[in-house]
Structure 1
Amino acid sequence: MNQYQEIRQGEKGALVSIGAYIVLSGCKLVAGYGFDSSALVADGFNNLTDIVASTAVLVGLRISQKPPDKDHPYGHFRAETIAALIASFIMATVGIQVLIDAFKSLFADHKAVPGLVSAWIALAAGAVMAGVYIYNKRLAKRINNQALLAAAKDNLSDALVSVGAAVGIIGAQFGLPWLDPVAALAVGAIICKTAWEIFYSSTHALTDGFNENELHSLRGTIESTHGVRSIKDIKARVHGSNVLIDVVVQVDPELTLVESHRISDEIERRMERKHNIMSVHVHVEPMGMEDGEQPGSEPAQT
């Protein structure tokens, strides 16, 4: 399965998420307003933002399937990252509004006690989102799609948010009406936190940031390749769900061009096999040659 086929597989997960969020957000908002539950209303708005986020992932996945062209020689894989960045702004806006409404409800003179039915709705929604999380996590790992894996993590947070809303509603039944708006505050905080995490990861990728621990792991794989004496330089960046690597390795200066080429091929095979990375640019240099020195030249005398 090539990377474009994997992206098409990832669309299934995004569509499952969108379908679940549409149904659950409608049920939560109707029940939340009908049974006077601030927490369930906040959770419903949370799912509305998730529809936008999942749609952004879907649109990004579809755009990223476009083949390379004159203006995009590396392809369009970063489209999903840009879509996620846009979704983070929308999620932050909704999260702030939920926090404002929850504060108003918390300090209101009269706090309505939400109906117990809304707690059961919240628990059922949590169970549904837990199922969506398991499905998307397994699919994301099978096709190695980082965007879908991030969406799966959002599914899990939504399941926990629904459980938290249920706790707040049940607590209100036992003479603690303030617990419902407090749960709504927690939901708003989680929305903002998720928005920040998506914003940070997206901007980090778009500015060519890369995890140092992962880079160390990649370096170890290359260094252990037979024929590699040392690594002079290595760089990596994220391009959508793909990783692009540029590495300069030093080898025995007595090796032929054919032998050096075989080392490059072996590095590429190992990166694909061990890390599922298929975009590796390898530059081979003879060991001991200084920058600017020509092969076979004598060292400069002082």
Structure 2
Amino acid sequence: MDHADNLKKGEKGAWISIGAYILLSVVKLIVAYTGNSEALRADGLNNSTDVIASIAVLVGLKISRKPPDENHHYGHYRAETVASMFAAFIMMMVGFQVIIDTFGKIVTHETSEPNMLTAWTALGGAIVMYFVYRYNKSLSEKVGSSSLYAAAQDNRSDALVSIGAFIGIFGAQFGVFWLDPMAGFIVGIIICKTAWDIFKDSTHTLTDGFDEKQIDKIKESIVKVQGVKKVVDVKGRIHGNYEFIDITILVNPELNVREGHAITEKIETLLWKKHNITHAQIHIEPYE
């Protein structure tokens, strides 16, 4: 099965997230309004932003499936990364808004006892999002989708956010009313933290960042290939979910073209079996 088919399967996870987020955001915002809970309101707003983020992931997955064309010789796989970055921006803006609103209520002591129904709603939302997280995480690993993996991490964060909201609302039942807006404030911080993590990973990928430890492991593997005298350089970059590797090695200058090509084939096979790398540009130079 090729990568395009995997991306198509990954869309199922995005659709499940969208459905869950729409349902939870509507229910939470209605219950929060009637039950007077800032924590659940913040949780509901968090889920509403996740609807947009999940749609961005879905669009990114669809664009990534497009085959290479005249302007995109390497395909459109980075659309996933762009979608993840777009989702991060939306999450960050809402996170800041939640922090500002709840912090203002804490400072001005605009607190009141929330209805216990809001606590059970938050707990129910946490359970739903935990199962969505488990499904999307498993699916992202099967299909190799970075944006779906980011969505899964967001699902987990949402489950934790809902648990935090539940604790805050439950604590407010004992007269500690400031716990409810405080829980909402913490929810806002978690939203911003999740957005920052996704943004950081996306920018690292788009600026051709690559794990240095992975480079060292690749070098150690290549130098053991028969016929390789020295590994001069190894560079890597991420294109969607593909790792593109550029390698320069030194070989016996007396080798003919066929023998040199045989060495590159050994390296390509090694990279595929040991490091799951399918794209490698190997440059051969004479060893003096």
- Tell me the TM-score normalised to structure 2 length: 0.96
Deviation at 1:224, TM superposition (A): 2.8
Show structure 2 runs of 5+ residues with no match. none
Answer with 146-155 or 251-260: which moved more.
251-260
Matched with 2:35 is: 35
Matched, 1:222 2:234: no
Aligned mates of 2:106, 2:12 — CA distance in 1: 40
Deviates more, 1:103-112 or 1:200-209: 103-112
Output the amino acid matched with 1:163.
I
- Work out whether residues 56 and 87 of structure 2, in 8 Å CA contact, stay in contact via their aligned partners in 1: yes
Structure-1 separation of matches of 2:97 and 2:5: 39
Residue pairs, 1:17-166, within 5 angstroms: 17-166=17-166
Pairwise CA distance, 1:140: 1.2
**Using the alignment, how far apart are the partners of 2:221 and 2:43 within structure 1?**
45
CA contact under 8 A between 1:38 and 1:105: conserved in structure 2?
no
Q: Deviations over 1:48-96 (max 9, x none)?
A: 1111111111111111111111111111111111122222211111111
Secondary structure at 2:108's aligned position in 1? coil
Could you report, residue by residue, the CA deviation over 1:183-202 in whole angstroms, capped at 9, with x for unpaired residues? 10110001111111122111
Structure 1 segments of 4+ aligned residues over 3 angstroms from their partners: none
Q: What's the C-alpha RMSD, in Å, of the aligned pairs?
A: 1.3
Q: Residue 294 of structure 1 aligns with which residue?
A: none
Q: 1:11 is matched with which residue?
A: 11
Contact 2:84 2:150 in 1 (8 A): no
- Secondary structure of 1:107 counterpart: helix
8 A contact 1:233–1:247 mirrored in 2 = yes
Residue identity in the other structure for 1:45: L
The one-letter amino acid paired with 2:271 is: M
Per-residue CA distance 1:99-154 (angstroms, 9 max, x = gap): 11101221234411111111111111111111111111111112222221121111
TM-superposed CA distance for 1:13, in Å, is: 1.2
> Residue in 2 aligned with 1:185?
185
Q: Secondary structure at the match of 2:246?
A: strand
How many angstroms apart in 2 are the aligned matches of 1:23 and 1:226?
Answer: 59
- Is the 1:147–1:241 contact (alpha carbons within 8 Å) kept by the matching residues of 2? no
Distance 1:128-1:262 versus aligned 2 partners, 3 A rule: same
Question: In structure 2, what is the Cα distance between the partners aligned to 1:81 and 1:172?
Answer: 41
Task: Supply the distance in 2 between the matched residues of 1:282 and 1:23 (Cα, whole angstroms).
Answer: 51
Residue matched to 1:243: 243
Map 1:244-259 to 2 at 5 A.
244-259=244-259
Whether contact under 8 Å (1:168, 1:183) holds in the other structure is yes
- Quote the Cα distance in structure 1 between the aligned partners of 2:274 and 2:142: 14
Query: Which amino acid letter does the alignment assign opposite residue 56 of structure 1?
Result: A
Cα deviation code 1:13-53 (max 9, x no counterpart): 11111111111111111111111110111011111111111
Q: Which amino acid aligns with 2:143?
A: I
Please say if residues 119 and 165 of structure 1, whose CA atoms lie closer than 8 Å, have aligned partners that are also in contact. Answer: yes
The structure in which a higher percent of residues are helix is: 2
Letter paired with 2:166: A
Corresponding residue pairs, total: 288
What is residue 232 of structure 1 aligned with on the other side? 232
d(CA) in 2 for partners of 1:25, 1:257: 63
Alpha-carbon separation, structure 2, partners of 1:94 and 1:110: 21
User: How far is 1:243 from its partner?
Assistant: 1.2
Whole-Å Cα distance in 1 between the matches of residues 81 and 277 of structure 2?
18
Contact 2:81 2:146 in 1 (8 A): no
CA distance in structure 2 between the aligned counterparts of 1:208 and 1:110, rounded to whole angstroms: 48
Higher Rg of the two aligned structures: 1
TM-score normalised according to structure 1 size: 0.92
- State the SS of the aligned residue for 2:65: coil
The answer to whether the 8 Å contact 1:168/1:182 transfers is yes
Residue type at the aligned position of 1:60: G
Does the 8 A contact of 1:85 with 1:203 survive in 2?
A: yes
Alpha-carbon distance in 2 for matches of 1:226, 1:75: 33
Identity of aligned residues (%): 51
